Structure 1
Amino acid sequence: MNARTEPAAAEPDATATARPPLLREFLLVAGLFLVYKFGRQLAVRHTANAFHNAHRVWDLERAVRLPDETGVQSALLHGDLLVHLANTYYATVHFPATLAFLVWLYVSRPAHYVWARRVLAAVTAAALVLPFTFPLAPPRMLTGTGLLDTARIYGPSVYGPPSGDHLSNQFAAMPSLHFGWALMVAVGLIAATRSRLRWLWLLHPLVTLLVIVGTANHYWVDALAAAAMLGAALALVRAPGHTSGTPGGAVRLPAQRGPVLAGAGR
């Protein structure tokens, strides 16, 4: 049998993506942040509805027997150092961690960067809608719950009095982008790396969840809403290494290596 050998044409790597222009990406991310801040500010004139909705959310959580937020806060209040660390985590980790995540992906995993940026943009854009349709005061403002505003009492605090706060909308507790972004950081790093320890990245959203609830900045349902939005975005935005039209999102095929027999498989 005369078998002629020919080099196989390597299939394109599904994760091979040119790195987007840095200036364009900087403007996109900065623009998204400004739109988010501006959009939240447009929804600040719904104080009465925000407190009404807060009582409804609190009652709903008790009706479906979600754990009481006061239990998490009580654990933090066992020592001043622990609650201070939780407040510091809330104030300082959110934006830097997400930015570091995007920068690392941009430098090391361009295809995953484009995917992650699109997912985060979709989640953030969706989060702009809820403050208009469902303004929500955070649990730290709700009387009769037994919860304390730990940032105001123990510091550090990122919020001033709501009436004079021109940088954030404190009546936009739902969804919690602290949790949504933290969860995307973990999902993105798990998807972009191959270390057996990569699942430890899930500690970031877990710690974030305990912090946002324990400091009384968010309800459990705020995190659930953020997770649902992220799940929808992940379903809509195709991840690197997947192609449409194949059951389950299609798996990337490895490129062939070495010679193959001409006519083999015919």
Structure 2
Amino acid sequence: MNARTEPAEADTEPDAPARPPLIREFLLVAGLFLVYKLGRQLATGHTGEAYRNARRVWHLERTVHLPHETAVQSALLHGDTLVRLANTYYATVHFPATLAFLVWLYLRRPAHYVWARRVLAVVTTAALVLPFTFPLAPPRLLTGTGLVDTARVYGPSVYGPPSSDHLSNQFAAMPSLHFGWALMLAIGLIAATRSRWRPLWLLHPLVTLLVIVGTANHYWLDAIVATAMLGLALASLHPPRRTTTTAGRGTGRPSTPEPVLAGASR
């Protein structure tokens, strides 16, 4: 007499979706990054308005009692090593981490990849509107705040003087896509995986938040607005559901465990 055991179960993508064509996706993702860079550059100018808006944001944060950005920066300035690590994180992690996130999803979770790419596209496109309507100087360029331009003083820096920097728009601080993309990376990996440790992905946006504020590249409000934009995108673009299927059957539907019949004979 043999005990009848339950079949093994495995996580699968819903209905085993096929990966989108690689060349098309490469062009779409490359276009997303290009729109991010060129769109912000097209919004150059309005310097005076950018500084006036910066003063408004600074005073608004103090009025609503948000934490002072100088408190975060003071922690970084306890040693040259820590502040240089923060500057390096700001300069080098943003694009490679997002690209690695999309590549992994494309290879391992195609349905989640399509969802994440759409969310990032919506957030990035929406974020490019604000530099035209609300140009904003970053806190490192704002005098009288007590903040230090850590990248310029300690290095490495990705920006030159605003008057001669033709590769980026330094007056497009609102919203912070550094933080918005980092938060989407964490949310996307939490949604697409089943590891008990997956909440640890939230450390990436947390570190990113401390870095962008501590290096005086962004205000708290920049991250808050980015979070709101991401929330609206996620509310309209829902992630695909992961389903648990019986191994070897590939039904794409949740399985129903069969009872164990301890005394059954064949």
- Partner SS state of residue 59, structure 2: helix
| 1:41 corresponding residue in structure 2 | 41
Question: 2:35 corresponds to which letter in structure 1?
Answer: V
- Partner SS state of residue 44, structure 2: coil
Q: Deviations over 1:6-60 (max 9, x none)?
A: xxxxxx9635221011110110011122122221112111101000000000000
The Cα of 1:257 is off from its aligned counterpart by 7.2
| 1:240 corresponding residue in structure 2 | 240
CA gap of 1:222–1:162, structure 2 versus 1, over 3 A, is same
Q: Equivalents in 1 of 2:208, 2:19: separation in Å?
A: 30
| 1:164 corresponding residue in structure 2 | 164
CA-based RMSD: 1.8
Q: Deviations over 1:148-184 (max 9, x none)?
A: 0000000000001112212211000010000000000
Contact 1:15 1:241 in 2 (8 A): no
Unaligned runs of 5+ in 1: 1-11, 243-251, 259-266
CA gap of 1:167–1:254, structure 2 versus 1, over 3 A, is same
Q: Residues 120-139 of structure 1: matches in 2 within 5 Å?
A: 120-139=120-139
Contact 1:15 1:111 in 2 (8 A): no
Q: Residues 1-266 of structure 1: matches in 2 within 5 Å?
A: 14=14, 16-241=16-241, 254-255=254-255
Q: Equivalents in 2 of 1:214, 1:52: separation in Å?
A: 22
- Partner SS state of residue 84, structure 1: helix
- Higher mean alpha-carbon deviation, 161-170 vs 102-111, is at 161-170
Q: Equivalents in 1 of 2:163, 2:45: separation in Å?
A: 10
- Partner SS state of residue 124, structure 1: helix
Q: Equivalents in 1 of 2:27, 2:74: separation in Å?
A: 42
Contact 1:40 1:131 in 2 (8 A): yes
Q: Equivalents in 2 of 1:68, 1:16: separation in Å?
A: 48
Contact 2:213 2:220 in 1 (8 A): yes
For normalisation by structure 2, the TM-score amounts to 0.86
Q: Equivalents in 2 of 1:70, 1:253: separation in Å?
A: 53
Question: 2:196 corresponds to which letter in structure 1?
Answer: R
- Partner SS state of residue 78, structure 1: coil
Q: Equivalents in 2 of 1:237, 1:162: separation in Å?
A: 37
For normalisation by structure 1, the TM-score amounts to 0.86
Q: Which runs of 4+ in 1 moved over 4 A?
A: 255-258
